[in-house]
Chain A
Amino acid sequence: MTRQMTTTATPVGRPTAAAGRPRRRFAALSPSWLFAAPALVVYAAVVLYPSLAGMLYAFTDWSGIGADKSFVGLANFQTLLHDEQAMDSIGNTLLLTVAIVVVQNGVGLLLALGVHAKLKSRALLRVIFFAPVVVSPVMVAFLWKYIYNPDPSAGLNGLLGLQIDWLGDPSLALWSIAATVVWQYAGYSMVIFLAGLEGVPRELHEAAMIDGAGTLQRFRYVTWPLLAPALTINLMLSTIGGLKLFDQVFAATNGGPGYATETLSTVLYKQAFVFGKFGYSTAIALVLALFVAAVSLVQVYYLRGREVAQ
């Protein structure tokens, strides 16, 4: 089994029949490119062009409606630097991201280890833990709004005998939202870790056991290093998800109470659609996109290095 998997995973050379053909002068016109061409054209028209054209608005004062707009240079970016609300929202976004990345992946890993063990009901458990992932984030937020009812006799308070204002207390609301995100996406991390666990060769565990390693030692020195690719993917996906979190916040608190749960995404949404400052909003979006890209690149660089090191 293991040997086969390793073989398939290694890049295999092209079929010799193709390599023997002496017609490689125009690589762009090769059938593989031609087959990809329609999709690439659609991608360029639907994603690339609008994104690049959209960026130009970041340098204008367009209101989002009407034809009036003028070029304002870097003024929108200067405004962003002095915008207290946007700066606070960056803090909230980072806190949310860190909380989500750490807890979601921690819980996801524990769930993966749990359902990877030889349990009778593990197939059912896998489905149950993964189920929230397929629900729309807005639905999840509305569902949790009911669960977070501040009434001591209702929802989570009623269940646990508490009197907590989950979404109404400014010092707690951000963490309540983080909890709903973790609840929804821990199953997603679980599936990726599970795939990683399935790829850990049994022989290595057997060898470690013969050498006298206990369960914890085997996890630390065998499983954990081999989970590195799964960890890279999980950390990257949850970081990107956390940094651009919008739906759950918007549906649960709309950035409130006050500005306690405002994230960069809700701020840019409000600037565009509530305040009518489309140009400024695009500038925020551009900064957010560059920031997400930078963080992801650093993460991949660092984590890939860790994978290679093994």
Chain B
Amino acid sequence: MTELRDARLSRVQFFRMMGGLAVAAAATACSTKTQSTGSTGQGQASAVELRFVGVADQKAPMDELVAAYKQAKPGVTLATSFAPTDQVQTSLRTQLGAGNAPDVHVVYPGSGSAMSMTQIAGAGLLADLSDQAWTQTIPTGFKPAFQKDGKTYIYSAGSSVIGAIYNKKVFQEAGIDAPPTTWTEFLAVCDKLKKAGKTPIALGAQTPWVTQLITYALVPSTVYAKDPTFDDKQAAGQTSFAKSGWREAMEMYLELQKRGFFNDKPNGTTFEQQISMVATGKAAMAIQVSAVLPDFRKSAGNPDDLSMFPVPGADDAAQVWIPAGVVVGLGAAAKGKNLAEAKAFIDFLGKQENINRWAKAIAAIPLTQDASSSIDPAVQSFLPFTKDKAVPFMDQRWPNAEVQPVHFAVIQDLLAGKIKIDEALQKMDEAYAK
């Protein structure tokens, strides 16, 4: 022991040792680098790996289309990863901030979210896609969701609608033959279902984004049917949430709760529990976005038992409008190393057959349609509205990312009886003005 303790390491020896280690480490690093350059740089010029980060909703269509792209262009591979919205938002914003964003990544249409096209393109981080052929066919009504200052920055395969996903079997058992077409009929249907011992509407309000869907389903009828230019007027400060049909929509929302049409304790119920209630027939319907229809079908014993109908937000059927928003899309990183290949992949997605495939995988209405486009039978009943009685999801025109989370929170507070509608709308107006 004593010899060991006495064994000295002179300073010079110590530095020599450390220096040796450093040289060895550097040599290893350099040799690794040379190897990787050799295999990709000198070999085939087209051997490119694109990185894609998306949200869980995009997995089904991306899996299918990435496989198709591999066939069409074997030299390019796509490394994809998917996660729930919150996580993607956190990691992607960090990567965008640090300047190492994936080549292709999820982008939300319009403005109103921290990952929305307007915000990311505004920071100069999205590549302009305007030179691609498919961008010329974007329907006029959808342009604000795709374009900023006349340039297209996001690809999306089409639109989804918000309505009631319902269990046809439960409706039949309660003696309901056809979906309601007016608000009074809707209340009567709920009443009938309740008397038949079923929960009329499953509501998973613990999952924040689920809270907004009932107001979104009603506001097109209570606000936009009366004034299609509401968004512009609100932006100009001529109107507000509190002064508009938003109040009526929230009153209708709470009327459903007051009449006992929701499951017990909606604030403690999650989206997954909501799905299970409708899929198993414990509840008759859920007001939801059509993009999650495949999730409901997966949980149901017989997927054909499930269908959708527009929620009638007015007593005059002619005044019923629906929410139809561009589905979550993707864009190419403007400063990505493989920008040309990333844009080529998006161009591939923009082909009509691929728009059709993407739309089919998430039960969406294709952005543009041809003879081979198929529209999910469940959303057929929405088609008569899409031409002139549909409005984009409200948040797509909101000026900042704060209004939407405030909307989630005030709905939870309203359901808990903690605040009144006046306060809820005031908070939303305050967030809008920020």
Contacts and interface: CB of A to CB of B under 8 A. Distances in A.
A and B associate? yes
A256 B90 CA distance: 19
Contact of A256 (B89, B96, B412, B419): B412
Interface string B249-271: 00000000000000011111110
Closest 6 CB pairs of A and B: A168-B268, A66-B123, A168-B267, A150-B268, A258-B413, A257-B412
Contact of A31 (B9, B401, B402, B416): B9
A250 B90 CA distance: 13
Contacts of A167: 206, 267-268
Contacts, number: 113
A275 B112 CA distance: 9
A169 B416 contact: yes
Contact of B90 (A66, A257, A258, A273): A273
Interface of B: 5-6, 9, 11, 14, 86, 89-90, 93-94, 96-97, 114, 119-120, 122-125, 205-206, 208, 264-270, 273, 400-402, 405, 408-410, 412-413, 415-416, 418-419
A309 interface: no
A66 to B, nearest CB: 3
A254 B267 contact: no
Contacts of A272: 93
A257 B413 contact: yes
B268 A63 contact: no
B405 to A, nearest CB: 6
Contact of B402 (A64, A148, A275): A275
A273 B265 contact: no
B11 A257 contact: no
B270 A145 contact: yes
Contacts of B97: 64-65, 278
A272 B402 CA distance: 11
B21 to A, nearest CB: 9
A170 B208 contact: no
A19 B413 CA distance: 69
Given A170-B418, A275-B400, A276-B114, A258 B264 contact: no
A65 B96 contact: yes
A52 interface: no
Nearest to A166: B268
Contacts of A17: 5-6
A214 interface: no
Interface string A233-277: 000000000000000001001111111000000000110111110
A273 B5 CA distance: 54
B124 to A, nearest CB: 6
Contact of A257 (B89, B264, B415): B415
Given A257-B206, A258-B413, A273 B89 contact: yes
Nearest to B89: A273
B265 A150 contact: yes
Nearest to B2: A17
A64 B86 CA distance: 16
A198 interface: no
A149 B273 contact: yes
Interface of A: 15, 17, 29, 31, 34, 63-68, 145, 148-151, 163, 165-170, 250, 253-259, 269-270, 272-276, 278
A165 B14 contact: no
Contacts of A163: 264
A156 to B, nearest CB: 12
A182 B5 CA distance: 47
B421 to A, nearest CB: 14
Nearest to A63: B123
A145 to B, nearest CB: 7
A148 B268 contact: yes
A163 B268 CA distance: 12
A250 B264 CA distance: 23
B401 A276 contact: yes
Give the residue among A65, A151, A168, A272 with the most B Cβ atoms within 10 A. Answer: A65
A169 B267 contact: yes
Contacts of A255: 409
B122 A274 contact: no
25 contacts: A29-B11, A31-B9, A64-B93, A64-B94, A67-B124, A149-B273, A150-B269, A167-B267, A167-B268, A168-B265, A168-B267, A169-B268, A170-B413, A170-B416, A256-B206, A257-B205, A257-B267, A258-B409, A258-B410, A259-B409, A269-B90, A273-B114, A274-B405, A275-B114, A275-B405
A275 B116 CA distance: 11
A272 B96 CA distance: 13
B332 to A, nearest CB: 15
B125 A65 contact: yes
A66 B124 contact: yes
Contacts of B409: 255-259
Contacts of A256: 206, 208, 267, 408-409, 412
Nearest to B417: A170
B93 A273 contact: yes
